Structure 1
Amino acid sequence: MTEAERHRLMLNVLKDRPFASVRDLLAVVEASPATIRRDINKLHAAGTVRKVFGGIATTELGSGLEPLAARPFEENQMLQVAEKKAIAEAAAALVRDGDSLIIHGGSTCYLFALLLAQRNLRIFTNSMPMAAALWQKGSCHLTLGGGDLYREPGILHASGAPPPEFYASKFFLGAQSITHAGMFESHPLIVRETEMLLTRADEVIILADSRKFGFRARYPVMPFSRIDTLITDDRITEANHKMLTDAGVRVIIAKARPETERG
């Protein structure tokens, strides 16, 4: 089988799904894993696909799912507040003093980071709102990603920069959308930063309230095979819970409490 034929078959796999693992590609292409990985690198360099952990992804997503427009950070802070606080508390319970963590941007991760501000931790973030809050209110060791400030997603990003010299036991991040195909985002810079930071963490933990399921975001970020744990609220449907557990994702359900019950 020629290289051109292999590439055609690999691209065909992505016609009805946003992700394909190396194992998926081996099932349709007569080649060794090493050859498949070289082909992935060539397709990625050509801009035909995106290289992701364990395989390839489409450059964009088109589906019949309900669209979910990305909202400004300030507006997101006002939505599902009780659920987000419960998720943040459940996430904080997974952290041990002395841990090194990567925490991505997003309103739920922001609340989570505030709970860690006074703990003995090393935290890396490229989120400006989070960094400002931890600087003002925290005593933890804080490392910032470098680069230019992109105000819409609220992150620092340096085009072409190598991954940071920071290694974490856990990578916490939010999600714009969760579907049967994995995690998706609406801003390409968030995708690029996430893909880079995935190489610097052992465990990936998603913080996503239940309204994120079933909506559409444009850019695929990672398949379920790269997600270790997902923390959500108790409004998740049985079908979505089963979708995650069937894919091997550990699911933690955080029960939101009325504000009057909070101390």
Structure 2
Amino acid sequence: MRVEGAEPERHRLIQEALKERPFATVRDLLDVVGASPATIRRDIAKLHQAGVIRKVFGGIALPEGAHVQRMHARPFMENRVVNVEAKTAIAVEAAKLCHDGDSLIINGGTTSFIFAQMLARRSVKIFTNSMPLAAWLWENGICHVTIAGGELHREPGVVFSSSMQQPDVFASKFFLGAQALGLEGMLESHPLMVPIITGLAKRADEIIVLADSSKFEMRARYPVLPLTRISTVITDDRISETHHDMLTNEGVEVIVAAVSPQEPA
């Protein structure tokens, strides 16, 4: 029979878990808290109601507006459940920019993944280096898909090889996410993303960055593209006036997606 600790101590341990990572599943918390799944779910409900954590599909996350200064990127699978509402709203706006017959480059990333799902049954041509996206489109889409060649890098979920020639592909629009955005431009934490993005950027007329407002609070190590190289940034309505002005002052068009009030998970 499991002997469970006092509620205040369980709550402290759950909150401590989010200091190490911004998302945790109930299974993750079993080892951390030492309580039954039912008890953990009741604790999560109370902490969510108090506003100190946020219930999301599959587990818990930091509250909206509580951003951890990160110098490393989250794995693709972990990042899929972070800021889902904002990412979906951004993806809807991005899909409005696409027309039948377009040739598009879609980089790996979770916002790009959601966006491309909306194009699955559209008459467009998609070039992607995202293995999760290519697999999803194979099962669910009718659009034309070309996949980058090379080795599978599992953490970011992309296919790339520095020894292979750049793909012979050209597109009207290049859609991609970002680890961070600032005066330095678009930045990434994984060094692999630098040659991938800079290479693909040369093969598109427009560069459109899909970045929820939390990305303006993030830090990252590697500059990838200056703001002057970016045509459009699509973000959510939590972007600050300062960050909005930073983009427009550099000639970047900003599309702001409205995010519906979040319902408890």
- Band of TM-score, shorter chain: 0.7 to 0.9
2:220: which partner in 1? 217
Identify which of structures 1 and 2 has the higher relative contact order when contacts are C-alpha pairs closer than 8 Å and 6+ apart.
1
Partners of 1:215 and 1:80 lie apart in 2 by: 14
Partners of 1:68 and 1:85 lie apart in 2 by: 25
SS at match of 2:126: strand
Asked if residue 83 in structure 1 is aligned to residue 91 in structure 2, the reply is: no
* CA displacement, residues 27-62 of structure 1 (integer Å, 9 cap, x when unaligned): xxxxxxxxxxxxxxxxxxxxxxxxxxxxxxxxxxxx
Partners of 1:199 and 1:180 lie apart in 2 by: 22
2:132: which partner in 1? 129
Gaps of 5+ in 1: 1-64
Partners of 1:254 and 1:154 lie apart in 2 by: 26
* TM-score of the superposed pair, with normalisation by structure 2: 0.72
* CA displacement, residues 87-118 of structure 1 (integer Å, 9 cap, x when unaligned): 00000000001000000011100000000000
**Runs ≥4 residues deviating over 6 A:** none
Partners of 1:140 and 1:198 lie apart in 2 by: 22
Asked if residue 67 in structure 1 is aligned to residue 70 in structure 2, the reply is: yes
1:251: which partner in 2? 254
1:242 to 228, 232, 245: 245
1:138: which partner in 2? 141
CA RMSD between the two structures: 1.4
Partners of 2:191 and 2:70 lie apart in 1 by: 16
2:169 to 166, 169, 173: 166
1:184: which partner in 2? 187
**Equivalent AA in structure 1 for residue 160 of structure 2:** H
2:102: which partner in 1? 99
Identity of aligned residues (%): 56
Deviation of 1:137 (Å): 0.6
Asked if residue 231 in structure 1 is aligned to residue 234 in structure 2, the reply is: yes
Partners of 1:119 and 1:236 lie apart in 2 by: 30
* TM-score of the superposed pair, with normalisation by structure 1: 0.72
Deviation of 1:199 (Å): 1.2
Question: How many aligned positions are there?
Answer: 196
Gaps of 5+ in 2: 1-67
Rg comparison, structure with higher value: 2
**Equivalent AA in structure 2 for residue 163 of structure 1:** Q
SS at match of 1:188: coil
Deviation of 1:232 (Å): 0.2
**Equivalent AA in structure 2 for residue 218 of structure 1:** R
2:37: which partner in 1? none
Partners of 2:248 and 2:116 lie apart in 1 by: 27
**Equivalent AA in structure 2 for residue 214 of structure 1:** E
SS at match of 1:116: coil
Correspondence 1:4-15 to 2 at 5 A: none
* CA displacement, residues 216-258 of structure 1 (integer Å, 9 cap, x when unaligned): 1111101011000000000000000000000100000000124
